[in-house]
Amino acid sequence: MTAASQALRYVNEDSQRQFMYLALIEGRKALPGCIPNPPVGCVLVRRGRVVAKGYTNPPGHMHAEAMALSLLPGPLVDVTAFVTLEPCSFHGRTPSCAEALVERKVARVYISILDPDTRNSGAGVKILERAGIEVSVGLLEDIARKDLGPYLARKDNVMAGRT
């Protein structure tokens, strides 16, 4: 049995939605301090239980995934991450969240929506998949689009106007 399938033993369709909803709630905690960055939330789940949560901190500080990962030691081969926006693929003021998830060996990642930022826009998902991490995109997408609406509508985002 793979690490991802072990992690999924405890996560059914209803609990997937519940965990992503908790991630959305975490993301709302980021406001207004995270601006101009998006208010992203992340929930880490092990054996059907939330073991860590995070949200985007002020610019230059931890993103949601980094905050949640910082709360747990060692490899996370039996952990599923629920993230409201695609993990960043690039190193800016902070390191790549996609690379951090790979380094910690997270088994699976659920993402509400892809990041329209032209520096990312699917690249975070590719990093995760190349590392063998199972990725699902679109969970509670409608709610995430409402929460992230101002970020998605920014003119410097490729998907502006699609919100």
Active-site residue, 65 included: yes
CA distances, 121 to each of 17, 66, 68, 126, 157 (Å): 23, 19, 22, 10, 9
**Catalytic entry in 26, 65, 99, 134:** 65
70-108 per-residue burial string, b: 16 or more CB within 10 A, e: under 16: eeeeeebebbbbbbbbbbbbbeeebebbbbbbbebbbbb
How many helices (H) does the chain have, and how many strands (E)? Answer: 7, 5
Are residues 2 and 25 in contact, defined by beta-carbon separation less than 8 angstroms?
Answer: no
Q: 125: which 2 tokens?
A: 């998902």
Q: Which residues does the annotation mark as catalytic?
A: 65
